[in-house]
Structure 1
Amino acid sequence: MFRFDVVVVGSGVAGSSAALAAAEAGSSVALIAKDSLQETNTVYAQGGMAAVLSPEDSIESHVADTLVVGCGICDVEAVERVVRGGPESIRRLLEWGAKFDLDSQGQLDLSREGGHSHYRIVHAGGAATGVEIQRTLAAAVARHPDIAVFQNNFAIDLISGANGRVIGVLSQTERGELVAFSAAQVILATGGAGQLFRETTNPAIATGDGVAMAFRAGAVLRDPEFFQFHPTCLYIAGAARVLISEIVRGAGGILLDKDRVRFMPEYHPSAELAPRDVVSRACFDRMVKTNDTSVYLDLSDLEKDPHQLFPHISRICSYFGIDIAKDPIPVRPGAHYMIGGIQVDADGRTSVPGLWAAGECSSSGLHGANRMGSNSLLEGMVLGARAGERAAEDGRDFPLIPIDRHLRTDRPNGSSDVKLGIHDMTYSLKSLMWRQMGIVRNGPMILDAAEKVSFWARAVQKLASPEPRSWELLNMLTIAHLASVSAAVREESRGTHFREDFPEPRPAWRAHTQLVPVTEGATIKAVHIGRAPVRDTVPAR
């Protein structure tokens, strides 16, 4: 058993930023990483980080762009807070040793992506920004004397006190040992849940663990039906899906169908730089109309050599014999970013005392119904640091509650008579969600998915053996069911949530979907699903 002032679960941009901020505020910090510090969702972020840095740009413009892409349900206060924190976040990363791409004058080379009206994307290695940011943050974490890092630790559940307050985390080491972390404050920064879907840009660790843990602890969730699909994943049958960054289209790449017809101008005035939900649906529609498994990204007319602009993408494509300077790249949409999550306030507090959340696992209100590219790394930096700082303040002089009497280390054993095929069920879930909760949805498909997922979840709870693969699957089933029932309730189309039976937005649904667990003792008996108003204005200060 370990005791710390603050425990942070998750080691990507949000988790590392939270840990550094809490430690700088004087707290002892434990940083629990599911894998190594070099294997996070952040590492797979390619395009860049948005920040207002040029004289032609403005805070007001970045805020306005974010609100437009968010389709009417962004929290304006959250948008302004994050956007205003952009320049300082870049300065901090540079101070910690980040190496971003520079232009010929030695200044930060700013690019543009879909939804952005100005060049404001800071990037590294062309399209390897996440790798550089993770390297920088991991080094800063390693240097800090008040942060203890626990790598390859699977966080199983939150530990709650008698009054429902979160007082710690139960995890399992790679050797199979159960470890309890006692803390005055716990921050979840566990990333997303792209592994819910067969086609995804996310790494294997993205199984929605933090959101599921928070829900089991009684936390209110928000907008889980909104899941962003990135329009351009490298599609080679049998190979893992690899993101082809939006920065490539920002540099002039165009989308073609199998007949080599450029199609995006037919779908949106901004063509390839339309918001991601628009481009993803257009790609999906074109694949159906041309009876093809992909569309094609053409870089042959770029002004500069694409091999030099995007060395990371060039290297990956070369493994498959694709010369990105002359060969169209086969791409198709894939699950990319979980927009909904754990509901938090402006400081990252959840509805459960002692529990905080930041980054992709949270629902801060920044993204609304559709995330604008390169705003997520920015959110992780700004709101991760904010949560760490505030958690440290709240935890100051807060007594550590002994967790021994609140801790159960016995895990239910699977049935010896029936063996559950975890791999098969996981693949079935991913396929089901891709078919019925993917880019285009409808009521009967959504309800059928919710029913199947609920049945599978009961089977896993009863039959699965107590091991990380089973716990991951149970977390995925939890998120899949909550996303499905929320999608069924939202009878409209808005942002990333598109229903062919309700193809237009409806004024009555310009609201958040709010999921409140109904508990009986330590057990969740039901979920109340309602609407919460959108905060349109910034509170007076």
Structure 2
Amino acid sequence: MAVSVDDFAPDYIGKDVDDVVILGGGLAGLFCALKLSPRPVTVITNAPIGQGASSAWAQGGIAAAISEQDSVEEHRDDTLAAGGGICEPKIVDQMTREGSDRVHDLLSYGVPFDQDLEGRLQLSREAAHSQSRVVRVRGDMAGKAIMDALTTAVRNTPSIRVLEGYIGESFLGEGRYVTGVLVRRRGGISRLAFPAKAVVLASGGVGHLYGLTTNPHEANGHGLAMAARAGAVIADAEFVQFHPTALDVGKDPAPLATEALRGEGALLVDKAGNRFMEGVHRDMELAPRDIVARAIHGQILEGRGAYLDCRQAIGSNFREEFPTVHAAVSAAGIDPEKDLIPVAPAEHYHMGGVLTDANGRTSLDGLWAAGEVASTGAHGANRLASNSLLEAVVFAARIAEDIQGLMPTPRSAFWDKMDDAPGLPSQRNVEERDAISVLRTTLSNNVGVLRDAAGLRTALADIANAEKICVRRSIKNMMISGKIIAAAALKREESRGGHFRKDFPQENPAMAKRSYTSLEEVEAISAEALETA
């Protein structure tokens, strides 16, 4: 249930009720804010906009059926095939049909997508796509370029107020009605309450609940837990995508070796230089991500190692075509023109999240969700490459349209002045840091690429014990999100898409459907696991 302002006695309460408050400054949050203009919007974000969002780290690009050789139907069918039989077909059809329009919206905001001399968008192909349809920027810089352009547009839009450095803790409201957001200054103890007519949750994913991830530190599951605590229905939480080719160079977060490298012909080999995807899948290096991730995971467990061989396919063009990856491997002392690049699977994307409908509405009145924190049904059990940015902009635009239709003509943008002082530094509890380490370790070991009942119960018990020493709500939210993923994985006794159970290695046709859970159910499953540990 959402909390009341009286429960926490916040240091600041907005005197006026904002039209819209958006929690999250990534692609979905900023695109929604721009689409709502000139309606007044407050964007609240953990890190400076454009810097702490997973969107800014996306290398591949945004998938859309744009070329004459492609079609919306083919993009739709590829998405459904990758989703392991549990996508929502109508949602997928809607998303792929609106893709081209959203790409042109991004162009209008100044995103410098790669184009040929005649002004046509240049397209690349990624795993499980039947056509070249990924719109890129300088090979591997799409995410950063998109966020840079949107950040500039947002800062130049007077109707958008941006509050940076605030962590969402709870939703305000009563019962199933959400009426605002309670946030805390990052690094401080001051709490601020922002009442609103509409709240959009766009807080990102869960990557840093795992020990090895490609996501920024801000991707810590806070929004998922906030929604669950308020009573929202959570869908498909067990489906976590592990990117097959994170750079295995000891960095946290792990730098990403974009799938576009394999799209350009890079090979996966063991330390002896032997290809290992032959015989695993007909598409070999361009097989769906879950299959490639398990194959790489197996190579590493068996001591043969896993490497990207870019020497022949890309060679001397590496620095120019993939500058982000080139910088990362060079920093690790690797020359991709001469050396093999060590890779390992890392948590990359959460297909599950807060259940939404076609307009981004959650099961709670007054709360919408978009981006990775949402579960629209577009991705199913295994997201198709470069569909994440597409989903973010399509549903952010739909949410904006839905909210505009529900509210009268917007008032002029005006906000009361507020004290933005950092407040007193919070006492960083050493035990809480230890609890986070337990969380990240147990999720990586027991709720990762391969899972089984014993490991999932161990994870739930580990997290429940670690949670007992947590004081800050933000840390407790991380623990709740970890339990949601582990409990949902324990419930699904089959293997499908990004969810692979060693004790149930086959798909069960009877389970070819989405899963739904609540925090109440998760806590019951967790309590049982703790009792039997």
Query: What is the correspondence of 1:135-154 to structure 2 with a 5 Å cutoff?
Result: 135-154=148-167
Find the counterpart in structure 2 of residue 199 from structure 1: 212
Match of 2:313 among 290, 293, 302: 302
Match of 2:492?
490
Displacement of 1:396 after TM fit?
3.4
Superimposed CA distance per residue, residues 229-273 of structure 1 (whole angstroms, 9 cap, x where no aligned partner): 000011113564101111111111111111111111221100111
Is 1:21–1:386's contact at 8 Å kept on the other side of the alignment?
no
Q: Which moved more, 1:273-282 or 1:304-313?
A: 304-313
* 1:453 positional shift: 1.3
Paired position in structure 2 for 1:276 = 289
Residues 6 and 392 in structure 1, CA contact (< 8 A), matched pair in contact too:
no
Contact kept? 1:125, 1:312, Cα under 8 Å: no
Residue matched to 2:104: 91
Q: Which runs of 4+ in 1 moved over 4 A?
A: 524-528
Paired letter, 1:156? E
Aligned to 2:509: 507
The equivalent of 1:356 in structure 2 is 368
Correspondence 1:385 to 2:397: yes
Which residue in the other structure is 2:468 paired with? 458
1:443 aligned to which of 447, 453, 459: 453
For 1:477 and 1:288, locate their aligned partners in 2 and report how far apart those are by CA, in whole Å. 28
Aligned positions of 1:239-250 closer than 5 A: 240-250=253-263
Counterpart AA for 2:463: V
Task: Give deviations 1:265-292, integer Å, cap 9, x for gaps.
Answer: 2211001111100100010011122x15
**TM-score, scaled relative to structure 1:** 0.88
Letter of the structure 1 residue corresponding to residue 334 of structure 2? I
Aligned match of 2:356: 344
Computed over aligned residues only, the root mean square deviation of the Cα atoms, in angstroms, reads: 2.2
> 1:123 deviation in Å?
0.7
Q: Take 2:202 and 2:263, find their aligned partners in 1: how far apart are those partners?
A: 29
CA contact (8 A) 2:435 2:467 kept: no
CA distance in 1, matches of 2:410, 2:368: 15
Q: Percent identity?
A: 38
Structure-1 residue corresponding to 2:241? 228
Q: For 1:71 and 1:433, locate their aligned partners in 2 and report how far apart those are by CA, in whole Å.
A: 23
> Is residue 2:26 matched to residue 1:12?
yes
Q: How far apart in 2 are the matches of 1:323 and 1:497? A: 34
Aligned residue among 158, 168, 171 for 1:155: 168
Deviation at 1:302, TM superposition (A): 1.4
Compared CA separation, residues 419 and 186, structure 1 to 2 (3 A)? closer
Determine whether 1:55 maps to 2:92. Answer: no
Distance across 2 between alignment mates of 1:319 and 1:217:
44
Q: Secondary structure at the match of 1:136?
A: helix
* Distance apart, 1:389 and its partner CA: 2.0
Unaligned runs of 5+ in 2: 1-12, 412-425, 527-533
Distance 1:363 1:62, change over 3 A: same
| In 1: Cα distance, 2:400 partner to 2:504 partner | 41
Secondary structure of the residue that 1:459 maps to in structure 2? coil
Q: Bigger CA drift: 98-107 or 427-436?
A: 98-107
Whole-Å separation in 1 of the counterparts to 2:429 and 2:79 = 48
What count of residue pairs does the alignment treat as equivalent?
495
Partner Cα separation in structure 2 for residue 506 and residue 8 of structure 1: 39
Would you say the 8 A contact 2:266–2:314 is kept in 1?
no
Quote the offset at 1:482 in angstroms.
1.3
Please state whether the residue corresponding to 1:157 is helix, strand or coil.
strand
Tell whether the 8 Å contact from 2:25 to 2:203 is kept in structure 1 after alignment.
yes
Preserved CA contact (<8 Å) 1:185 1:395: no
> After superposition, what is the alpha-carbon deviation per residue over 1:498-528, rounded to whole angstroms, capped at 9, x for unaligned?
0011001001111111113459xxxx98689
Which whole-Å CA distance do the structure 1 matches of 2:332 and 2:384 have between them?
30
Q: Tell me, which stretches of 5 or more residues in structure 1 are unaligned?
A: 400-413, 465-469, 529-541
